[in-house]
Amino acid sequence: MPPHASYKVAVLGAGGGIGQPLSLLIKMSPLVSALNLYDIANVKGVAADLSHCNTPSVVADFTGAAQLADCLKGVDVVVIPAGVPRKPGMTRDDLFNINAGIVKNLVEAVADNCPEAFVHIISNPVNSTVPIAAEVLKRKGVYNPKKLFGVTTLDVVRANTFVADKKNLKLIDVDVPVIGGHAGITILPLLSKTKPEVSFSEKEVQELTVRIQNAGTEVVEAKAGAGSATLSMAYAAARFVESSLRALDGDSDVYECAYVQSDLTELPFFASRVKLGRNGVEAVISKEIEGLSEYEEKALEALKEELKASIDKGIAFVNKQTVAA
First CA to last CA distance, the chain: 52
CA distances from 296 to 30, 185, 193, 206, 209 (A): 39, 12, 10, 10, 10
Residue 259, strand partner residues: 150, 271
Tally Cβ neighbours within 10 Å of residue 87: 15
What Rg, from alpha-carbon coordinates, does the chain have? 19
CA-wise closest residue to 72 among 112, 25, 130? 112
CA-wise closest residue to 121 among 89, 82, 160? 82
52 is catalytic: no
Do residues 8 and 74 lie in contact, with contact meaning Cβ atoms separated by under 8 Å? yes
d(Cα 56, Cα 226) in Å, to the nearest integer? 33
Do residues 281 and 145 lie in contact, with contact meaning Cβ atoms separated by under 8 Å? yes
| Residue type, position 288, single letter | E
- Given the residues 4, 52, 120, 182, select the one marked as catalytic: 182
Residue 36, strand partner residues: 10, 60
d(Cα 253, Cα 269) in Å, to the nearest integer? 23
Sequence-ordered list of residues with C-beta below 8 angstroms from that of 304, at least 6 positions apart, any chain:
265, 266, 267
Do residues 86 and 95 lie in contact, with contact meaning Cβ atoms separated by under 8 Å? yes
Do residues 102 and 82 lie in contact, with contact meaning Cβ atoms separated by under 8 Å? yes
Which residue numbers are catalytic? 182
